[in-house]
Amino acid sequence: MSLPLALLGDFGEAIKFIFQERESVSGGVQIGGIPEMAGFGLTHMHVSIVAILIAAALAIPLSLWLGHIGRGEFVATATSNVGRAVPSLALLAFFISFIGLGLNNVIAVLVLLAIPPLITSTYVGIRQVDRDAVDAARGQGMTGWEIVSKVELPLALPSIFGGLRTAAVMVVATATIAPLANVQTLGTPILTPQTYGFVGQLGASIVVALITVAVDFVFARLQRAVTPAGLKLSEMPARRRFLFTTKRSFKPT
Using the rule CB under 8 A, is 241 a contact of another protein? Answer: no
The piece of 5-13, 47-55, 63-71, 119-127 that touches another protein (CB under 8 A) is: 5-13
Q: Give the nearest distance from C-beta 130 to another protein in angstroms.
A: 19
The piece of 24-32, 68-76, 141-149, 209-217 that touches another protein (CB under 8 A) is: 209-217
228 with 157: CB under 8 angstroms? yes
Using the rule CB under 8 A, is 7 a contact of another protein? Answer: no
Instruction: Figure out which of the listed residues 6, 34, 57, 87 binds another protein, where binding follows CB under 8 A.
Output: 87
The piece of 118-126, 135-143, 152-160, 205-213 that touches another protein (CB under 8 A) is: 205-213
44 with 212: CB under 8 angstroms? no
Q: Which is nearer to another protein, 47 or 148 (CB)?
A: 47
Q: Which is nearer to another protein, 151 or 183 (CB)?
A: 183
**Between residue 178 and residue 197, which ones bind another protein under the rule CB under 8 A?**
180, 187, 190
How many chain residues are in contact with another protein, going by CB under 8 A?
Answer: 49
Question: Taking Cα atoms as reference points, which of 59, 67, 234, 77 lies closest to residue 151?
Answer: 67
Q: Which residues contact 224 (CB under 8 A, 6 or more apart)?
A: 233
The piece of 31-39, 55-63, 115-123, 169-177 that touches another protein (CB under 8 A) is: 169-177
In this structure, the number of other CB atoms found within 10 A of the CB of residue 118 comes to: 27
Q: What is d(CA 14, CA 199) in angstroms, rounded to the nearest whole number?
A: 5
C-alpha distances in Å from residue 101, one per residue of 8, 76, 95, 104, 191:
38, 30, 8, 8, 16
Q: What is d(CA 250, CA 77) in angstroms, rounded to the nearest whole number?
A: 13
The piece of 23-31, 152-160, 222-230, 242-250 that touches another protein (CB under 8 A) is: 242-250
Q: Can you state the angle between helices 193-225 and 153-174, rounded to 10 degrees? A: 170
In this structure, the number of other CB atoms found within 10 A of the CB of residue 53 comes to: 12
Q: What is d(CA 224, CA 245) in angstroms, rounded to the nearest whole number?
A: 9
Using the rule CB under 8 A, is 164 a contact of another protein? Answer: no
Using the rule CB under 8 A, is 244 a contact of another protein? Answer: no
Binding mask 63-82 for another protein (x = CB under 8 A): ------------------x-
C-alpha distances in Å from residue 59, one per residue of 47, 70, 87, 127, 163:
18, 16, 20, 16, 11
Q: Which is nearer to another protein, 152 or 253 (CB)?
A: 253
Binding-site ranges for another protein (CB under 8 A)? 9-11, 81, 84-91, 93-94, 96-98, 169, 172-174, 176-177, 180, 187, 190, 198, 201-202, 204-206, 208-209, 212-213, 215-216, 239, 242-243, 245-246, 248-253
